[in-house]
Amino acid sequence: MQWKRITAVTATVMLAAVACGSPSSNSGKDGANAGDAGTAQEKATDATAKGPAPELDGAKKGGTVSILADVSPDTLDPTNIYFTDTNQIGKLMYRALTQYRLDGDSHKPVLVPDLAEDLGTKSADGLTWTFKLKKDIKYMDGTPVKAADYAYAIKRSFAHDLYDAGPVYQDEYFKDGKTYKGPYGPNGANYSGVETPDDNTLVIHLAKKFDDLPYYAAFPMFTPIPQAKDTKKSYDLKPMTTGPYQVDSYTPGAELKLKKNEHWDPNTDPVRYQYPDAFDFKFGQDTLKVQRQVLASNGPDANALNYSDLDSSLVPEVKDQSQLVTGPQPCTTVWGLDTRKIPMEVRQLIAKAYPFDTYRKVAGLTPKSAIPASTIMPPAVPGYEKYELPGLVGTGKGAEDPAVASEVKAKLKELGKENFELSWYYANDDKIATQVTQLRTQVYTSAGFKVKAIGVAKAKLRTFRNDPAAPVNIGQGPSGWCSDWPSGASWFPVLFRSDAVELSNSIGMLQDKTLDAELNRVNGLTADEQLKEWPKVDKMIMEKYLPLIPLYYSASNYPVGKNLGHVINDPTQGLPEFTSIFLKQP
């Protein structure tokens, strides 16, 4: 899953208050316990979970929760949702076949049936999955949900020319996934991958075994969509919702207002609640401004939250630690090295020279939101095994140490790669990005490399990075990855198989037949066997290919208003779990 998209927001923080006489060095140390990368999530399932979800202590009905987001989602179309924040917003509106229930104090995610009666039954050969569907489910306008609507939603997900941002596992695993192009073409109605033998059964045919399908079925992509109401690209303005809330008004990029869906039946839903009367999302806000507002919790701001990590400059302003929600995120941030353009020996030297310590400070990473990483998979992914390769532990001075710099320089000379050119894109209108680039340039120049950093506008950065043919050799593709579901299968095949290069998902642009074969072999194993194999693959990739430098595992650390109750971190996405929030004083 990709990270919530960061859109350009010019810093226009006002000189609102006058500096008080506090000393310049900080007071952020109190209560500074390192962030929590979490422990491995087990693949827990509960196929018998039934609604309604148990009442929460002290929960009250009513009021409006406002969510002040500094990012602006591109789309709320269920088929096109792939970012963690839209996924979480989608959970309020769209019910899918399955869903995660967060159990206990550690909020352990457990996969439970949502609109399906169970978690699906697979055939003996593993290529046919049958989902029994719940009866008497209604859309927000009162019309009944039909099995055909589920099938239509799946067909719709193949129309990548219209929905280019959504997840694409169906292409690989579903029957005819590589050839079927969605329901809109001349032959669109005929797709043999889904069947609806009766009105509460959905059958999915696969091209190859996909034991994680019930997890995949938790994506909003699997929410029912009635064909008659499909308005294609503008569907997200007035989507047919099955969850506890429906769209009241939506101005893309600016505001989303949700109101209650009266036809949502809590008795069918084991996960969601419907405490507040409405949700009001405001997008594209100024990060520092809204975080300060939320922390101050004056008037309506007490009912607000922001889901970006608290800016380090605001640490001294946190008076009440309970206003910070912390928890693990299943994400790792990395610095990709193009294996096609940089030889292995040079990649090792780049990793050796990386100035982790200074990078963390310059980039504003705090111990609470960024835990030094040494592996590709973060600890939150099942099967994670910690290993540390020398120099790749997420901390250290790298070539800022003159001894290391001269050592790297000498080795480059030995290899005949003096002044090896490193090039990457960065956002030249983002101050942090330019400072990080300055740091990297200084350090790598001192270590004998030649650096060419190409500044582009922040708004265009993603387009440039996603071009596999870009004329740079560092940092293409995603700059980090989050689990799509708790398994290495949503990491390694997606990121490191040859076909990932074409899909702009590749980190390191690996196109290696041996690695492809190994990834396919592990991917074909049973879930339990995979659990043991993925960490080995993790280590093998880092030792043998080094397609990336792991920088940090991210952890949640976001500010919430004082009047919000039961704001918990959803460890499957690293965001607040919106559906269980209530107002203490509505």
Interaction residues for another protein, span 216-275 (CB under 8 A): none
CB of residue 29 vs another protein: minimum separation in angstroms?
A: 7
- Residues facing residue 564 across a β-bridge: 583
Interaction residues for another protein, span 20-59 (CB under 8 A): 20-29, 32
492 Cβ neighbours under 8 A, 6+ residues apart:
376, 519, 522, 534, 537, 538, 541
| Binder of another protein out of 62, 316, 402, 524 (CB under 8 A) | 316
Helix residue spans in 6-108 (DSSP H): 84-93
CB of residue 324 vs another protein: minimum separation in angstroms?
A: 13
Q: What is the CA radius of gyration of the chain?
A: 24
Looking at 14-22, 171-179, 181-189, 576-584, which segment touches another protein (CB under 8 A)? 14-22
Interaction residues for another protein, span 403-442 (CB under 8 A): 428-429, 431, 434-435, 437-439, 441-442
Contact assessment for residue 466 and residue 17, using Cβ atoms and an 8 Å cutoff: no
Is the peptide bond prior to 52 cis by the omega test (within 30 degrees of 0)?
yes
Looking at 19-27, 115-123, 513-521, 550-558, which segment touches another protein (CB under 8 A)? 19-27
Q: Give 196 or 313: the residue with its C-beta nearer to another protein.
A: 313
Return the sign of the alpha-carbon dihedral for residues 157, 570, 563, 95.
positive
| Binder of another protein out of 7, 128, 201, 313 (CB under 8 A) | 313
CB of residue 9 vs another protein: minimum separation in angstroms?
A: 10
Return the sign of the alpha-carbon dihedral for residues 387, 389, 394, 396.
positive
Amino acid identity for residue 185 in this structure: G
Interaction residues for another protein, span 346-365 (CB under 8 A): 357-358, 360-362, 364
Contact assessment for residue 400 and residue 444, using Cβ atoms and an 8 Å cutoff: no
Q: Is 17 in the site for another protein (CB under 8 A)?
A: yes
CA distance 520 to 252: 40
DSSP annotation string for 25-42 = S--TTTT-PPP---PPPP
The DSSP secondary-structure symbol of 144 reads: B
CB of residue 28 vs another protein: minimum separation in angstroms?
A: 4
Q: Is 13 in the site for another protein (CB under 8 A)?
A: yes
Q: Give 425 or 492: the residue with its C-beta nearer to another protein.
A: 425
Q: Is 321 in the site for another protein (CB under 8 A)?
A: no
Q: Which of 513, 533, 514 is nearest to 523 (CA)?
A: 533
CB of residue 553 vs another protein: minimum separation in angstroms?
A: 16
CB of residue 99 vs another protein: minimum separation in angstroms?
A: 37
| Binder of another protein out of 172, 176, 277, 311 (CB under 8 A) | 311
Looking at 160-168, 180-188, 309-317, 320-328, which segment touches another protein (CB under 8 A)? 309-317
Interaction residues for another protein, span 277-296 (CB under 8 A): 288
Q: Give 23 or 142: the residue with its C-beta nearer to another protein.
A: 23
Cα angle 470, 476, 2; round to 5: 135
Q: Determine the distance from the C-alpha atom of residue 427 to the mean position of all C-alpha atoms in its chain, rounded to a whole number.
A: 21
Where are the strands (E) in 81-179, listed by range? 98-103, 108-113, 121-122, 128-132
CA distance 242 to 90: 10
**Where along the sequence are the contacts to another protein (CB under 8 A)?**
10-15, 17-29, 32, 288, 311-317, 357-358, 360-362, 364, 366-367, 400, 428-429, 431, 434-435, 437-439, 441-442, 452-456, 471
